Amino acid sequence: MNSAALSLAASMFEGSNSDIDNLPDTETILHILGIEYKTPNDSYAILHDIASKFWFTYRTGFAPIGGPSGPTKDTGWGCMMRCGQMMLAEGYVRFFLPAGRYFRWHPQLVDTTYWDILNMFIDKRHSSYSIQQIGL
């Protein structure tokens, strides 16, 4: 795994347990990509599921798209591309990781397939599904 992948993973998953206060205190049923959860009993399972999803958001300061004078941020126009990246990454997780939909991320993750998937989406020209590749 490279430092760019590790940095992206850390930014996606840091602070996920602090969001427990944002979940309803009532016995509400939530569905996340086909799995049913009930709050408050499943609060930690909900957060762990959400934290295990790839989360690609607007970025700034990446290598220019299409050459030296190209954009270096995708704020205001990259939302559909980022959504597409997240859907494709979820499909790869479901297809290539043994746990599929039930995959859960943890900081000591050593499954190289996970890191291979993540590396495909890093905002670098050589990454298969980077903003530089899909934004041309």
Counting residues of the chain whose pLDDT is more than 70, the rounded percentage is 87
C-alpha span between 84 and 90 (Å, rounded): 10
Q: Where are the domains of the chain?
A: 3-134
**pLDDT score recorded for residue 7:** 62
First to last CA, the chain: 27
DSSP conformational letter for 64: P
CA–CA distance from 131 to each of 12, 37, 41, 60, 68 (Å)?
A: 17, 33, 39, 11, 15
Average pLDDT over residues 92-110: 92
Compute the mean pLDDT over every residue in the chain, rounded to the nearest whole number: 86
